[in-house]
Amino acid sequence: MTLNSETTPSTEKQWDLARKLHQELIDMGMSDVTIDENAYVMATLPSNVDHDVPVIGFISHFDSTPDFTGKDIKPQIMHTIMMVVTYHLKVTATGLEHHDYFESLNQYKGQTIITTDGTTLLAADDKAGITEIMTAMKVMIDNPSIKHGTIKIGFTPDEEIGRGAHKFDVKKFGADWAYTMDGSQIGELEYENFNAAGAVVTFHGKIVHPGDAKGKMINSMYIAQEFIESLPRMETPEHTEDYQGFFHLHNMKGAVEKTELQYIIRDHDRGHFEARKEVMNKLVADLNAQYDREAVTIEIKDQYFNMREKVEPVMHIVDLAEQAMRELGIEPLIKPIRGGTDGSQLSYMGLPCPNIFAGGHNFHGPYEYVPVESMMKATEVIVKIAELVAMDANG
C-alpha cells in the first residue's frame, strides 16, 4: 500500500479480499451485492418489517496498515487466560519485553485471545470489523424473528492511507446514517476525531567535494535538524493523549543536497489545528530568512476534519449505539479518536458515521491482539442497533 499509487485500491492484493467478500455476501443471501471498479463492496439486507424504518449502514475497511508487515500472518489462539502477569510477558519472536503493550490483557482473563506470532500484524484492524458485520448479517438472515429495517453494509479499500472514503458512493449506499466498526477495546463509541493534515518539508543544500567544501557546501540535513528541533518536542504522539494534538515526523530521507521530512499534523480543536499549520509555515519562513534564500519549501495538505461537527446535529445515532451497548451489559466508553476513520470523511460527505469498537488492541504492530468475546459482543451490538432502530420507528 502506498500514498504514491494513483490507483484505487492502492495495491493489487486488496482485490483478493474484496472479491472474496463480494462472493460471500452473494452466497449468504444478501441483496444488491456489488463491487465497483475501485473495489468498494456494498450489499443490502432488506427490511423484514411492514413500517417505515430509517436505513442504516455498517462499514469496515479491508486494507491493513503499511507501517508493519502483514505478509504470511500466523495467528496464535490462546483459549484460556487464567492469569496475566504483564511485567513478565515477552514477545519471543522479537526478543523484546514490552509489558506496557499488554496491560489491557488484565481485563480479558478467562477469555480467548487471537494474537500474532510476533513477526507480523494480526490485521484485526479492520478484519475484525468485517467479520463482525458479516456475522451480524448472517445472524439476522438466519433468524427472521429479529426485526429490522433495511441495512446497508460497505467494505472499503485504502482507509489506512486516508483514502478509504474518497470514492465511496454515498448516494448509491443509500443509508440515512451509518457506523464504522473500526474501534479498539470493547465499549468504545466515538464521534470525535482529529483534524488532520500531511506536510512534506523539503530542504535544499549545495554539494561540493568535502575536501574543498569550506564556505561552499550547505548540508541540507543540518537545516532539517534545525527544523525538527524547533518544533515542540513534547507535542509528539509518544508524549500526548486524549484531546492533545501533535506533530509527528513519520518519514525522512536525506543527502547533502536535498532532505525531505514527512509529517502528519493532528488536533481535535480546529483553531489549534490551524495554528499548528501556521507554526510550520513560520518556521519555514524563518529558516529562509536566516539563510537568505529559499532553503526550505513546504507543502501542507488537509486530509480530514473532526466529524463531531456533522454528528452532533444527529446525536440520536450515538445515543442509539450507547443504548444498544447498555442493554447488552457493555459499559460505553465514549472518547475521542486519536486518529481518523472512513467515518470522519463520510460524515462530511453527507453520511453521519460514528465509530464503534471492533475489539482489537495494539493495532499497527506485532503486539496486536483481539479477544474473541469482544468480537462476539460487537456483533451483538450491530444486531441490537438494528432492532432498536426498527422498534423506535414503530413508536
Residue 4 has pLDDT above 70, yes or no: no
- Give the model confidence (pLDDT) of 284-308 as tens digits: 999 999 999 999 999 999 988 999 9
Q: Are residues 85 and 127 in the same domain?
A: yes
pLDDT for 92 equals 42
Q: Do 372 and 232 share a structural domain?
A: no
DSSP 176: S
Q: 81 pLDDT band (50/70/90 cuts)?
A: low
Looking at the structure, tell me whether residues 201 and 181 fall in a common domain.
Answer: no
Would you list the DSSP string of 51-115?
A: S----EEEEEE----TTS--TT---EEE---S---GGG--BTTTTB--GGGGGGGGGGTTS-EEE
Residue 380, pLDDT above cutoff 80: yes
In a domain, 5, yes or no: no
Q: Are residues 153 and 211 in the same domain?
A: no
> Can you tell me which residue has the cell 456494498?
42
pLDDT band, very low/low/confident/very high, at 320 (cuts 50, 70, 90): very high
Q: Which of 117-121, 297-301, 309-313, 378-382 has the lowest mean pLDDT?
A: 117-121
Rounded Cα distance, 195 and 306, in Å: 5
How many Cα atoms sit within 13 Å of 316 on the Cβ side? 9
CATH code, domain carrying 46 = 3.40.630.10
Q: What pLDDT, on the 0 to 100 scale, is given for residue 90? A: 42
**Whether residues 46 and 117 fall in one domain:** yes
* 154 and 183 assigned to the same domain: yes
List the beta bridge partners of residue 35.
41
Determine the pLDDT at residue 104: 79
Number of folded domains that form the chain: 2
Query: Is the same domain home to 233 and 186?
Result: no
Query: Is the bond preceding residue 9 a cis peptide, omega within 30 degrees?
Result: yes
CA atoms within 13 A on the CB side of 217: 15
Active site residue ranges: 63, 159
CATH code, domain carrying 262: 3.30.70.360
Residue 392 · residue 49 · CB < 8 Å: no
Domain that holds residue 93: 14-193+306-393
Of 241 and 67, the one with more pLDDT: 241
Cα three-residue angle 78-84-90, rounded to 5 degrees: 75
